[in-house]
Amino acid sequence: MPQGNFLKHIEYARQNIRVNAICQPMIPLGRLSEVKNIARPIVWVCSEDASSMTDHIMNVDGGVASHG
């Protein structure tokens, strides 16, 4: 992450604004994901359960990013 963005995330965190991203590759496991496969992580990231998580990129890809 570029240094300027890092400083911006700190500024947002001080205002209780969390910045996270959920990513999905173009071809996950040779099939398209269903909406629920992406919606559930989005709901979790927006919940109080994830309130201490910020500046994170979550790959919802069935393990594709982990295995190259």
Q: From CA 44, how far away is CA 67, in angstroms rounded?
A: 24
DSSP 8-class letter at 33: P
Predicted pLDDT at 48: 93
pLDDT digits (tens, 9 = 90+) for 5-55: 657 778 888 898 888 888 877 665 666 677 888 899 999 999 999 998 888
Q: Where are the domains of the chain?
A: 3-67
Contact, 2 vs 37, CB < 8 A?
A: no
Q: At a CB cut-off of 8 Å and minimum separation 6, what does 24 contact? A: 33, 38, 59, 60, 61
Q: What is the pLDDT of residue 9?
A: 76
Residue 54: exposure state from Cβ atoms within 10 A (0-12, 13-18, ≥19): middle
Q: What is the per-residue pLDDT for 28?
A: 59
